[in-house]
């Protein structure tokens, strides 16, 4: 089975993952925003630790109304733009099109399903250090693994085909048997490093070198682990140790929320912080340190909005 892909949000994630698929010869259409004309004229460039490549002829579109229907829609937008999906997606969906939300946080699939109750939906978690550094230009700094899992629909066979396509493109991919467990595990890393790099105006390597912020990062991770367990999701404390070790070996990095802050864009506070805090609290556990970080980020965001 040959799948037709559409990439919605062709930045740090969509540009890399969609670019890898297209570079491997897969049928991929990309939705671009500000750099549409640049990509039409110059193509898409990806500088990657696994090998640089350039797509000279990109199937680029300015509007989903002009795009053909897709078998798989890779949604790589920031969750702050998810309100646009009910307008962007209908024209490119057929009844079996699988929406794959390669996004951060908790609750994204459930919210999108409210607008697309009959559509197959999967979650995607990107373990990657990747930034958009210019028009049609992506820098892939480290890692790159993709984890996908079913949210609704009988789509295991399609996810296996997606996995095979990404493997052929050189992207390590797993199909998770438990999407919610995978989401909570990703939060173990996302919650400390996204927020703390913003609040302290720093990068991951500096957080890890300082004894006090290293300890706080670990304590935040353990709160997330306990919050997951309160919700009936099995995440071991050893997973926090694994994430600490991973960050120690990581290329110095400014996570996506830090880049959003630097560029005065809305930060993904709702799904990375607010939803997990509320979900754990409903299950009887108060993630106090995570909630404090959430409040600090909302204060900072309100200041950005006033500028």
* Pair 149, 135: CB distance under 8 Å: no
Provide the pLDDT for residue 304: 76
Helix (H, G, I), strand (E, B) or coil at 37: helix
Q: Assign a CATH topology to domain 181-306.
A: 1.10.1040
Provide the pLDDT for residue 307: 52
Whether 69 is catalytic: no
Provide the pLDDT for residue 306: 59
Provide the pLDDT for residue 303: 87
Q: Assign a CATH topology to domain 4-176.
A: Rossmann fold (3.40.50)
As a whole number of angstroms, the distance between CA 178 and CA 149 comes to 7
Which position has the token pair 């798989």? 72
Percentage helix, strand, coil, to 5, in the chain? 50, 25, 25
Provide the pLDDT for residue 174: 97
Q: How far is CA 65 from CA 39, 90, 210, 293, in A?
A: 19, 9, 50, 40
For residue 9, what are its two tokens?
């949000």
The two beta strands, 4-8 and 70-75, are: parallel
> In Å, how far from its chain's centre is CA 88?
18
Q: How far is CA 259 from CA 202, 236, 244, 252, 256, in A?
A: 11, 30, 22, 14, 5
Count Cβ atoms within 10 A of the Cβ of residue 115 and give its class: 0-12 exposed, 13-18 middle, 19 or more buried. Answer: middle
Q: What is the pLDDT along the chain (307 residues), one digit of tens a residue?
A: 799 999 999 999 999 999 999 999 999 999 999 999 999 999 999 999 999 999 999 999 999 999 999 999 999 999 999 999 999 999 999 999 999 999 999 999 999 999 999 999 999 999 999 999 999 999 999 999 999 999 999 999 999 999 999 999 999 999 999 999 999 999 999 999 999 999 999 999 999 999 999 999 999 999 999 999 999 999 999 999 999 999 999 999 999 999 999 999 999 999 999 999 999 999 999 999 999 999 999 999 998 765 5
Query: For the chain, what are the domain ranges?
Result: 4-176, 181-306
Provide CB contacts within 8 A for 78, sequence distance 6+: 9, 103, 256, 260, 265, 266, 268
- Interhelix angle 179-199/237-249, nearest 10 degrees: 50
Q: How far is CA 213 from CA 199, 218, 256, in A?
A: 12, 9, 19
Fold match, 4-176 / 181-306: no
Selected catalytic residue, list 20, 45, 78, 186: 186
Provide the pLDDT for residue 265: 94
């Amino acid at each position: 089975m040959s799948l037709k892909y559409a990439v919605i949000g062709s930045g740090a994630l969509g540009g890399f993952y969609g670019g890898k698929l297209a570079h491997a010869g897969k049928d991929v259409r990309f939705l671009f925003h500000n750099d549409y004309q640049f990509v039409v004229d110059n193509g898409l460039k990806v500088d990657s630790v696994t090998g640089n490549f350039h797509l000279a002829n990109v199937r680029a579109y300015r509007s989903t109304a002009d795009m053909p229907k897709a078998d798989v829609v890779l949604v790589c937008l920031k969750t702050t733009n998810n309100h646009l999906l009910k307008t962007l997606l209908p024209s490119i969906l057929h009844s079996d099109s699988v929406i794959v939300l390669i996004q951060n946080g908790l609750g994204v699939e459930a919210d999108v399903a409210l607008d697309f109750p009959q559509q197959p939906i999967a979650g995607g978690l990107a373990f990657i250090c990747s930034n958009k550094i210019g028009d049609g230009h992506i820098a892939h700094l480290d890692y790159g693994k993709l984890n996908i899992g079913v949210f609704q629909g009988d789509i295991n066979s399609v996810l296996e085909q997606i996995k095979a396509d990404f493997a052929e493109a050189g992207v390590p991919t797993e199909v998770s048997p438990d999407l919610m467990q995978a989401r909570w595990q990703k939060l173990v890393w996302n919650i400390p490093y996204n927020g703390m790099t913003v609040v302290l105006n720093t990068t991951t390597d500096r957080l890890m070198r300082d004894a006090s912020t290293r300890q706080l990062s670990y304590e935040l991770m353990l709160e997330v682990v306990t919050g997951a367990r309160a919700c009936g999701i099995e995440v071991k404390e050893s997973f926090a140790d694994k994430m600490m070790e991973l960050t120690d070996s990581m290329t110095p990095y400014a996570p996506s929320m830090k880049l959003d802050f630097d560029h005065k864009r809305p930060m993904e506070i709702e799904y990375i912080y607010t939803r997990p805090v509320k979900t754990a609290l409903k299950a009887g556990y108060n993630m106090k340190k995570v909630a404090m970080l959430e409040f600090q980020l909302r204060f900072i965001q309100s200041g950005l909005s006033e500028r």
